[in-house]
Amino acid sequence: MSDKKHLIEEFQRHFGASPTVYAKAPGRINLIGEHTDYNNGFVLPAGIDFSTQVVLSQRSDNNVTVVAQSMDSHDRFTLDNISKQTPRDHWSNYVRGIFWVLQQHGFSISGCDLLIVGDIPMGTGLSSSASLEVCLLQALSLANHLDLPPTTMATLGQQAENQFVGCNCGIMDQFICANAQQGHALLIDCQHLSSASAVVPEPLAIVIVNSRVKRGLVDSEYNLRRQQCEQACQILCVSSLREADLAMLEAAQHKMPELIYRRARHVISENARTLALKNALETSEISQISTLMAESHASMRDDFEITHPAIDTLVDIIASTIGQHGGARMTGGGFGGCVVALVPTPLLPTVKNKLAEQYFLQTGLHEEVYLCQPSQGVQGELLA
């Protein structure tokens, strides 16, 4: 990732002037709690040491010029007419959506020249889009003296993605990108937008394994899962699956299509697993951590049906290597992307070797393995 001095030099090269604002936001990994956020449930993510960085300077007109250096791409639009690009998950729609949502809320913002750099692998489920949204909101807040608190930035970023981009994501990604704590994961209550910190016990290390199967949240499957959860709520007569428990679900099973029952069972059981994992982290119950992560992955695979054969293979290789001494599961929205694992530090070389030996043979794909440090949420500063 480029340092701030290099970003300023790149901005000067592109725009012939110096930027006045700098912002940085992390990507995120989710230890447990998948597809629970839009059901008002619980999640347990952490910021990671992959990030998005933005530098900008304001203009005297309503034009916005964007250089996305990491993608070797650019965009231009005017604040008077912010339209969507095709395809709808094009990177520029996440930028345009932020300007759009600020205007929808009545904030006065000026045009600007903007340089974006990021090293979060796109399409991996590590929240490159939410990181971009929150980073840009921080930069625009500073430049236009909006004084946006982190959680406000999170809700604005979610609204931009829901209402402009067209993905009905929950609040988790934007919330952790805005509020992440150095060295900690956060248990987030997505109904009340409150959080409590958690520390991964030693000697466990957070490992991200990229399956190299690209995924995109803006697709019919993600939004379909949300619709299926809403259907379950209607049958259960609750406003969200946060209000339901397994006893209530079992009592109503005869009224539900089998598919809807399984979707609801995943969310309800995942909420319970998320709370249990927070407790297991605090008490260093490693075997319980292993069991909860394995159960979470099985639920995503069998009840919610959002994993991918390559992801299942990664989880199987890691789990068979570390046994009850750590855990592994898919992380992110699903249909590809990454696995998160909590691996005892002494076993890291063995896990890497097993993956290198077995993953390509079973899938024809080459994995990427990253060690992850829980990182700070969005930060920004005025440069001049």
Query: How does DSSP classify residue 364?
Result: S
Token pair of 281 as six digits: 């982290």
Token pair of 126 as six digits: 């590590």
Sequence-distant (6+) residues with CB within 8 A of 200 are: 31, 185, 206, 281, 342, 374
Helices 286-302, 309-322: crossing angle, 10 deg rounding: 160
Contact 124, 53 (CB under 8 A): no
Separation of alpha carbons 316 and 358, rounded Å: 10
Of 37, 173, 303, 312, catalytic: 173
Three-point CA angle 119, 223, 124, nearest 5°: 20
Residue found by looking up tokens 């290099």 in the block: 6
C-alpha dihedral, 69 to 74 to 76 to 82, nearest 10°: -90
Separation of alpha carbons 224 and 237, rounded Å: 20
**3-state secondary structure (DSSP) of residue 303:** coil
Beta strands at 112-118 and 185-189: parallel, antiparallel or unpaired = unpaired
Told to judge if 89 belongs to the known catalytic residues of this protein, a careful annotator would answer no
**3-state secondary structure (DSSP) of residue 287:** helix
Residue found by looking up tokens 């900690």 in the block: 184
Query: How does DSSP classify residue 81?
Result: B
Give the closest residue to 32 by CA, choosing from 336, 284, 332.
Answer: 332
Per-position b or e across 271-295, b if 16+ CB within 10 A of its CB: bebbbbbbebbeeebbebbbbbbbb
**3-state secondary structure (DSSP) of residue 379:** strand
Separation of alpha carbons 293 and 327, rounded Å: 6
Counting every residue written for the chain, the total comes to 384
Task: Report, as residue numbers or ranges, the catalytic residues.
Answer: 173
